[in-house]
Structure 1
Amino acid sequence: MTTTGREDERSSSSEVGVGVYLYGIVPADVQVSDEARGVGDPSAAVSLVRHGEVGALVSELTLDRPLGTPDDLMAHERLLDATAAEVPVLPIRFGAVMTSSEAVVEELLAPHHDDFRSALEELDGRAEYVVKARYVEQAVLREVLEEQPAVAELREQIRSLPEDASREARIQLGEIVNQAVSAKREADTQALAEALAPVSVLTSVREPTHEQDAAHIALLVELDRQDDLEEALERFASRWEGRVQIRLLGPLAPYDFIVTPAG
């Protein structure tokens, strides 16, 4: 991010009814863009509260303002992700507010200074990427039917029965298919994670967010290895063509690998 600090703007954070909203920890020499905006009033600029070799990205927030809308969360993540593409950042969990810039220094930056500095050094030149792979519904169902003849037979039985009479059979079929897809997800996630391990520093398997998820993996990757990551995914996309659709998100702030205390 680019710009100068905004010391005079931060001084008003101690006024009654105004707090300091926290985004993340960055090196103290980071400069924040004049155009950077975060949570709350669109006119509220983001600035940096510095202490030693670290700093906290913050903005002023009216304390009587409701906090927690989808727009607030998107603004929080948007700022952190844009930062992570340029400099190391330790994300602070969404919704963290402190009383003043002085409190940010005294309660957050000073007590954790050395830990923050070390973590930032570890993250230098790295960012998080998320791989989301989702099964093509008809393709994965076809695989299950081919691999488990009993499922195909049960499916045919259900077709010949009235809806009320087939209720238990439909429940049983759903359970069997779900178990089969879960087993495939586990195997496919492991295969994908192993294939991406050589181009990543750390890997974290996320819980599925959809019943048709084939894999959901967070990776900590060197920024200069993004091309290698994309090439590895392209190979898998070709291998899984027509069966699984793959998306790559990033660079992102390292949410899955480190989250700072909120004070």
Structure 2
Amino acid sequence: MGCGLYLYGIFPAPGPQGLALQGLDKQPVQTQVVDEFTFLYSEAKQKRYLASRRNLLGHEKVLEDAMQQGYRTLLPLQFGLVVEDWDAVSEQLIVPHKTRLQALFEQLEGKREVGVKIFWDTNAELQLMLEENPELKAKRDSLQGQVLSMDLTIQIGQELERSLEQRKEAIINRFREELNDLAFEVVENELLSEASIYNAAYLIPWDAEATFGDRVESLDREFEQRLRIRYNNFTAPFNFAQLDRV
């Protein structure tokens, strides 16, 4: 017995035709036109979906598979959205937000989201920084095997921290210089871990991805082995399909 409708995303009508996709709970993915919007959905077998890795990836895969089949203009919906029926969709989403939904479709037409995440090894970067700065290295070395005042210890520690932060900002600015001019919009997201120094999403023209990817590879070579870069060249535009952005 179903628990309602699980919604994945919205396309401009008429939307995808003849998709053969499998959604959550191994349910077939279907389309439903409501007003001038086409919803991608499957029958919900649960009232509430746990945000597990498996479910999250399943949600994203449905959207990406639909886009890969040529249906590119898509507003992805947040994970776990279950509604009772299509009347509820009309009353809660379309009627109050129709104008903004239309504006989002216009903004996303002919565009795609890509993402860049940058990680570094803090200790390795610190050692490299000290090798390049003998004066700072001498100060750091003075912390070892000597009795220093608390004020001096704090001062040296703060200087090391500032220098490391400056190196981080220099790397981030280098990526901004190379990549931001290819994007209509850039969203800089929260960092994922202590090793993460940059996490950004870019809204770029569909046909600019090859150029964008080449620039990411060039930056990877430029920084040699200092960075670990994760480049996602195909994803639903979650960062740019938000009603509060229009």
The normalised TM-score by structure 1 is 0.77
SS at match of 2:116: strand
| Structure 1, unaligned runs of 5 or more | 1-14, 162-167
CA shift in 2, pair 1:153/1:252, >3 Å: same
Q: Deviations over 1:130-175 (max 9, x none)?
A: 01222255641233213555653465356548xxxxxx99998776
Is the aligned partner of 1:37 residue 2:22?
yes
CA distance in 1, matches of 2:47, 2:81: 15
Indicate the residue corresponding to 2:131 in structure 1: 146
**Aligned partner of 1:228 among 189, 200, 211:** 211
Indicate the residue corresponding to 1:215 in structure 2: 198
SS at match of 2:44: strand
Shift of 1:129: 0.4
Is the aligned partner of 1:156 residue 2:141?
yes
Indicate the residue corresponding to 1:189 in structure 2: 172
Shift of 1:219: 0.4
RMSD: 3.1
**Does the 8 A contact of 1:50 with 1:105 survive in 2?**
no
Indicate the residue corresponding to 2:98 in structure 1: 113
Q: Deviations over 1:96-138 (max 9, x none)?
A: 2111123223322344333222311221221110012222556
Indicate the residue corresponding to 2:185 in structure 1: 202
SS at match of 2:4: strand
CA shift in 2, pair 1:18/1:171, >3 Å: farther
CA distance in 1, matches of 2:180, 2:51: 35
SS at match of 1:21: strand
Indicate the residue corresponding to 1:257 in structure 2: 240
Indicate the residue corresponding to 1:23 in structure 2: 8
CA distance in 2, matches of 1:75, 1:89: 17
The normalised TM-score by structure 2 is 0.81
Q: Which stretch shifts more, 251-260 or 217-226?
A: 251-260
**Does the 8 A contact of 1:127 with 1:221 survive in 2?**
yes
Q: Which stretch shifts more, 91-100 or 30-39?
A: 30-39
Indicate the residue corresponding to 2:228 in structure 1: 245
**Does the 8 A contact of 2:47 with 2:82 survive in 1?**
no
Indicate the residue corresponding to 2:44 in structure 1: 61
Name the % identity. Answer: 28
Aligned length: 241
SS at match of 2:208: helix
**Which amino acid letter does the alignment assign opposite residue 156 of structure 1?**
D
